[in-house]
Chains A and B, each alone.
Chain A
Amino acid sequence: MKCRKCGDTAALELRRHNAAFCSPHFIEFFRKQVREAIRQHRMVTTEEPILVAVSGGKDSLALWDVLIEEGYATAGLYLDLGIFDYSVESRAKCEAFASARGQRLIVERVEEAMGAPIPVVQKVTRRPTCSACGLSKRYLMNRAALAHGYAVVATGHNLDDEAATLFGSVMHWQTDALPRQSPMLPSTHPKLARRVKPLYRLSERETAAYAFLRGIDYIVEECPFARGATSLAHKEVLNRLEEASPGAKHNFLFGFLEKARPAFERAEGVTLVECASCGQVTTGTICAFCKLADHVKRAAPS
């Protein structure tokens, strides 16, 4: 198979684009997609420093790499979930990445904020692990952005992540979740950072290929709590559709964003207030993170 641009041996075939690229031209393609995502959704300006949430995995480190290469001022934010060897290894990957590129890495520990690491949270609450983890991440990302003066947080969500989330929301007709699914969530409160997903145009396989071809040392092993997660089942269904019909995932997500999402946007915006306990933004009196932390503190063995 030959590169569409130069005719050299291709490194990756992109069936949904009916194209194949050699390594240098694939990297060029990848960066162009990120630039297009940022431009189309006005995610950030070139002067604006970006806090990049990194996990040590392929997506977030690929994102950080491309933003650095595009000339943005960045810092990484690693959230230490306290998941045994997995967290130790993933943190080491982030530290090595940051050190090699002269970038700042901010580390926040879930245990410090929540009173217990994620494995204990999983044991003492009835929430699915990924749900409690996701809630903690969103909370800590926003808190860290405010504390360190960043107006925008970038995450490594890719096309597959977004399509699988959309699939899950549609499967359960979570109509309140649909308008919140967007490549860019603007700040709607002075204490709420803007959240952007510059990789949403790129598939999971493409971010993995970019990380590999750029020589990024990322953690290949999956989080032990992710096994059996519903999102993985949704991804498998979507990948079977993709195999039969290249472009299916792209059409599903982009069709939603362009044609359907506006129909689900709320007629009235929600009112945001500050949590009576921690001061972070919430829609209730006490935010979900503080409620969860309180539950953990009461239930966890001292």
Chain B
Amino acid sequence: MKVVLRYPRREVEVAGKRRVRELLRELDVLPETVLVIRGSELLTGDTVVGGDDVIELRPVISGGTAARPAGGGEVGP
């Protein structure tokens, strides 16, 4: 199967069948940080994938929310 990852975008070929949770473990991806997508469906950890599947591991983590600095002077204390 083909596994599509991002940041940076890349594709990995993985041979054989396995459950989604095992695939994530092998790729060192925390389940909480991605959606596992096959076509138009979301897959849960117990789904078996392999063969001709194209699996996208779409990151869900947004970043850059700065903690508010100490001290006043800003709108909305």
Please determine whether A229 and B64 come into contact, CB atoms closer than 8 angstroms: yes
* Chain A 195-223 interface 0/1 with B at a Cβ cutoff of 8 Å (1 = within): 10000000111011100110000001111
* Chain A interfacial residues counted at CB < 8 A: 73
B14 interface residue, CB < 8 Å from A? no
8 Å CB contact of B76 from A195, A204, A227: A195
- Contact between A242 and B32 (Cβ–Cβ < 8 Å)? yes
B31 within 8 A of partner (CB)? yes
* Bound form: Cα–Cα A29–B1 in Å: 32
A185 to chain B, nearest CB (A): 6
CB <8 Å contact, A180 and B72: no
Q: Are A291 and B73 in contact (CB under 8 A)?
A: yes
Bound: A134/B35 CA distance, A: 27
Contact A282 B61, beta carbon cutoff 8 Å: no
A169 at interface by CB-CB < 8 Å: yes
Q: How far is the CA of A59 from the CA of B64 in the complex (A)?
A: 14
Alpha-carbon distance between A134 and B58 when the two chains are bound, in angstroms = 25
Which one of B42, B67, B77 contacts A231 once the chains associate, using CB atoms below 8 Å?
A: B67
> Is the Cβ of A270 less than 8 Å from the Cβ of B72?
yes
The reply on A53 being an interface residue by CB < 8 A is no
Partner-binding segment picked from A6-14, A39-47, A91-99, A106-114: A6-14
- CB closest residue in chain B, given A134: B66
Interfacial residues of chain A within 205-261, with CB under 8 A of chain B in the complex: 205, 207-209, 212-213, 220-223, 225-227, 229-232, 235-236, 239-240, 242-243
Is B33 a contact of A239 with CB atoms below 8 Å?
yes
Residue from A130, A192, A227 in contact with B75 in the complex, judged by beta carbons closer than 8 Å: A192
The CA of A220 and the CA of B4, in the complex, are separated in Å by 13
Residue of B7, B37, B60, B64 near A225 (CB, 8 A) is B64
Measured CA separation A29–B70 after assembly (Å): 37
Query: Is B68 on the interface with A (CB-CB < 8 A)?
Result: yes
CB distance B68 to A231 under 8 Å? no
Please determine whether B65 and A165 come into contact, CB atoms closer than 8 angstroms.
yes
A232 cross-chain contacts in B, Cβ below 8 A? 61, 63-64
Output the nearest chain B residue to A207 by Cβ-Cβ distance.
Answer: B60
A78 at the interface (CB under 8 A from B): no
Q: How far is the CB of B51 from chain A (nearest CB, A)?
A: 19
Determine whether B30 belongs to the interface, using a CB cutoff of 8 Å to chain A. yes
Neighbouring B residues of A74 by C-beta, 8 Å? none
Taking a contact as CB atoms under 8 Å apart, the answer to whether B64 and A133 are in contact is yes
Query: CB-CB < 8 A to B10: which residues of A?
Result: none
Contacts of A284 in B (CB 8 A): 72-73
* A131 contacts chain B at the CB level, 8 A cutoff: yes
> Is B41 interfacial (CB-CB < 8 Å)?
yes
Known A10-B44, A11-B41, A13-B44; judge A282-B65 contact (CB<8 A). Answer: no
* 14 residue pairs from A and B, CB less than 8 Å apart: A10-B44, A128-B66, A161-B65, A168-B67, A177-B68, A204-B62, A220-B58, A231-B64, A239-B32, A239-B61, A282-B72, A282-B73, A284-B73, A288-B75
Q: Which of B's residues lie within 8 Å of A, judged by CB?
A: 6-7, 30-35, 37, 41-42, 44-47, 58-77
Chain A residues engaging chain B, CB cutoff 8 angstroms: 1, 10-13, 20, 23, 57-59, 128-131, 133-135, 138-139, 142, 157, 160-161, 164-165, 168-169, 172, 174, 176-177, 180, 185, 188, 192, 195, 203-205, 207-209, 212-213, 220-223, 225-227, 229-232, 235-236, 239-240, 242-243, 270, 272, 280-284, 286-289, 291
